[in-house]
Structure 1
Amino acid sequence: MEPSGPSADDNRPGRSAGVVRAMERTDLSAVARLFTQTFRKHRLQPAPDLSGYLETVFFTSPLYSPDVGSLVHLNEQGTIDSAILAIPLEFMVNGRPMTARLLCAFMSQGKSGAAGAARLARMLRAARQDFCFSDNASPVSADHWVAAGGLALPIQSLEWHRTFRPMAAGLERARGRMPFMGKLPLQRIARVFDHFIRRTKASFAAAPHENTTSAPISPDQFAELALGMMDRFFVHPVFSKPEFDWLMAAARLNTSLGALYCRSVVDVQGKVIGCYLYFGADGRDAVVLNVLCLERQEAAVVAQLFADLDGHGYAGARGMAQPFLMNAVLRQRHLVHRHTGYFCLSTRHADLKAAAVGDGFYAGGLASEIWSRLLHDF
């Protein structure tokens, strides 16, 4: 990654005054206020635990260093008026390890903030980056990524949603728009209606692939299986034990999505052909983080995944679309794809860019922002 200070171009005579530097722990209160002003306009003050969460997520990763962490811009008065929050993640790119920046929030306030945001964006131009990406960019941000030499990946910019229990799934969507509905005793009513609907329309039930079963596994077992199954990709997360353990601990802080579960998928010969990791809360949507499998086992693993989640009583299931799983996922009934944010990346490496537009790229789940409380909380 490039050093986190401003470039020589940014300090030419005539440029507006200001400093770009790595975010420090002493900045957390100011960044929490900036986040709240930018993304939570209905709140007058930051949530009491926001600063602590920002410190945990953006300073305690075993890969953290100022060179691959978050950036802030200070105006002439020394006030932070714009910032980019970033988490370092280790990837393997054509056999060589590389530390990427996962960009989680790009925020600014006022006129000086707009100028600061422009300076921050220049710091992250594709020509200067080994690898940085975001899985939740807005349309305006995606346009900036592409204009600066980056990519917007169309498939990974979609989220699939498979409905098992339509009344409960509708309640889940309503809860997302009107949080107060979560306090109303509506789940029991939805359960009664869903029981009747599923009896009259059997296609809501997900059928497993023939001759496959699944079983719960530990996070360590999941990491070991996932590492072997990601070898098929030119670019994929490393998930070293220190980093994987940290990611799992950080993800578990998002209790609004439920508990984290890992499962393996086994064929009739007893061979493990896939594994997956997901959040689950009773009666709500399961949020699938990662699905991995052996080559040519996509259909069997995806069918078993949906049958499992249906069997556990979830309203539905959702997760990031992946090119290698598209054909298997599209075979499901009562499935839709939604655009929730652009998956964008920047890199100066031609082989990484070529993998991203082909079939050799894997990111998402734990190696993305989907688990962060910043998307669901505060």
Structure 2
Amino acid sequence: MKAIEMDDTGVMVAPDSKDMAADPIVARRRGRVRPMKRGDIAAVAKLFNCIFRKNEADGSRELNRYLETVTFSSPLYTPETGSIVHENAEGEIDSAVLSVPMQLQVGERTLTARLLCAFMAKGKSGALGAAHLARTFRAKHQDFCFSDNASPRSADHWEAGGGHILPIQSLEWRRVFRPFTSNLQRLYVAAPALRKLPLRIVALPLDRLARRLLPSFKPATAPGYRVEPAGYEEFREYASTVLKRFYVRPAWSAGEFSWLIGLASQNLTCGTLNCRKVLDPKGETAGFVLYFGEANGIARVLNLICTQGREREVVGQLCAFFDTEGYCDARGMAQPFLMKAIMRQRQLTFRHSGYFCMVSRHSEIVDAALSGDMYIGGLASESWSNLLVAF
């Protein structure tokens, strides 16, 4: 069998017959990979519904509008860093990858990474198209490309393309404060119709009993520490300083950060977006947290950052704060630098929520990621996206 190479689009080409690629008949039969255009939104929305919602309906006006916002309105958007689609021989879009550009600071230089939000393929031609799309994201083609919600099959493709799975970031930590309400939230995910029933009336007294019998459900405060409201710009300025401890970290320019906050604020299914800071006994800032807060429900932590050496106190005080606010549990992406502090908490579990996969042609970025010298997640991942929960 003759060796197979790839052209600039990632499509397979036989090296001794590249003139075939120029043959319009051959090209038409195999389809083509190209950047997604605004005119593709309706087709991609329908494909999204088919793959992720298991129906053949056209995308709603809200889904179409959100897809356009996510894929084209970023201040970093260019066709080279945006989403890509595969057209089959009939000119129909049978597979697509949604991509959001995100700027990272790597040592002293800045580069634009690509966050892959959704990988969709339909039918036999879509399977072939998906293979072509996957080859586009091989390590040798990418400065930095990642996904924090990959399926097992997608993770296999990432590794086959020279990528890596980060096992810690592939976990979600969960600290429970009110066990029966927390389990009720899990039940709602499996059967949303149950939200209409007054089940919480039963859960509340059981939670009170559990907290009396097992005091470990109540987290202890960090002596002298307190939590106060804070602004998003305060968070960004603090992050620009404390995240310098990591070789790879989000750049979060004012324009990109504002865009991400605007999109995250629309994710009302997960609750209200909040920003809080943790102050030490001297009144100095020890850490910050961005989180979605669902009344009487879950505190979903997007980004938790802190001064190096204050991880234990900041995590402890935030857990106590979430408990006081009445949340049933708090959860967020596991981070290597936070693991010791998180594991100090009682009533803690870890859950595999999806594979965190990344590829890069730069060995220093790969080394930093594998050694834990990288901060990523929250706004610097897919956690803020409404595509995960609302559509």
Same fold judged by TM-score > 0.5?
A: yes
Which residue identity does 1:185 align to in structure 2?
P
| Alpha-carbon distance between aligned partners in 2 of 1:62 and 1:348, rounded to the nearest angstrom | 24
Which residue identity does 1:125 align to in structure 2?
R
Q: Which residue of 2 aligns with 1:373?
A: 386
Within the alignment, does 1:6 sit opposite 2:9 as a pair? Answer: yes
Aligned residues: 375
Counterpart of 1:246 (choices 239, 246, 259) is 259
Larger Rg: 2
| Alpha-carbon distance between aligned partners in 1 of 2:10 and 2:56, rounded to the nearest angstrom | 36
Q: Which residue of 2 aligns with 1:352?
A: 365
Could you tell which deviates more after superposition, 88-97 or 193-202? 193-202
Q: Which residue of 2 aligns with 1:285?
A: 298
Which residue identity does 1:236 align to in structure 2?
R
TM score, norm. by length of structure 1: 0.96
Cα distance change, pair 76–281 in 1 and its aligned pair in 2 (3 A): same
Within the alignment, does 1:101 sit opposite 2:114 as a pair? Answer: yes
**1:65 offset after TM fit, Å?**
1.0
Q: Which residue of 1 aligns with 2:80?
A: 67
**1:45 offset after TM fit, Å?**
4.1
Q: Which residue of 2 aligns with 1:55?
A: 68
SS in 1 for 2:186: helix
Q: Which residue of 1 aligns with 2:274?
A: 261
Q: Which residue of 1 aligns with 2:184?
A: 171
Q: Write the mapping of 1:1-378 to structure 2, written as runs, cut at 5 A.
A: 6-7=9-10, 9-10=12-13, 12=18, 13=20, 17-42=30-55, 44-378=57-391
| Alpha-carbon distance between aligned partners in 2 of 1:197 and 1:7, rounded to the nearest angstrom | 56
1:142-196 residue CA offsets vs partner (Å, 9 max, x unmatched): 1111111111000000000111001110110000111111222222332222122
Equivalent residues of 1:211, 1:268 under 8 A apart = yes
1:74-119 residue CA offsets vs partner (Å, 9 max, x unmatched): 0111100000001000000111001000000011011111111111
Equivalent residues of 2:46, 2:56 under 8 A apart = no
| Alpha-carbon distance between aligned partners in 2 of 1:235 and 1:127, rounded to the nearest angstrom | 19
| Alpha-carbon distance between aligned partners in 1 of 2:233 and 2:344, rounded to the nearest angstrom | 31
| Alpha-carbon distance between aligned partners in 2 of 1:160 and 1:7, rounded to the nearest angstrom | 37
SS in 2 for 1:156: coil
**1:274 offset after TM fit, Å?**
0.8
Which residue identity does 1:243 align to in structure 2?
E
Give ranges in structure 1 of 5+ residues lacking alignment.
Answer: none
| Alpha-carbon distance between aligned partners in 1 of 2:221 and 2:63, rounded to the nearest angstrom | 42
Which residue identity does 2:311 align to in structure 1?
E
| Alpha-carbon distance between aligned partners in 1 of 2:113 and 2:188, rounded to the nearest angstrom | 34
Equivalent residues of 1:208, 1:307 under 8 A apart = yes
Equivalent residues of 2:42, 2:58 under 8 A apart = no
**1:69 offset after TM fit, Å?**
0.4
SS in 2 for 1:68: coil
Equivalent residues of 1:83, 1:120 under 8 A apart = yes
| Alpha-carbon distance between aligned partners in 1 of 2:58 and 2:13, rounded to the nearest angstrom | 33
1:335-374 residue CA offsets vs partner (Å, 9 max, x unmatched): 1000010000010001000000012111000111111111
Equivalent residues of 1:254, 1:372 under 8 A apart = yes
Equivalent residues of 1:98, 1:130 under 8 A apart = yes
Indicate the RMSD between aligned Cα atoms, in angstroms: 1.5
Which residue identity does 2:99 align to in structure 1?
A
SS in 2 for 1:357: helix
1:3-48 residue CA offsets vs partner (Å, 9 max, x unmatched): x962575484377521111111100000001111111115644344
SS in 2 for 1:192: helix
Equivalent residues of 1:5, 1:21 under 8 A apart = no
TM score, norm. by length of structure 2: 0.93
Cα distance change, pair 25–292 in 1 and its aligned pair in 2 (3 A): same
Give ranges in structure 2 of 5+ residues lacking alignment.
Answer: 1-6, 21-25
| Alpha-carbon distance between aligned partners in 1 of 2:254 and 2:323, rounded to the nearest angstrom | 31
Equivalent residues of 2:11, 2:132 under 8 A apart = no
Equivalent residues of 2:11, 2:33 under 8 A apart = no
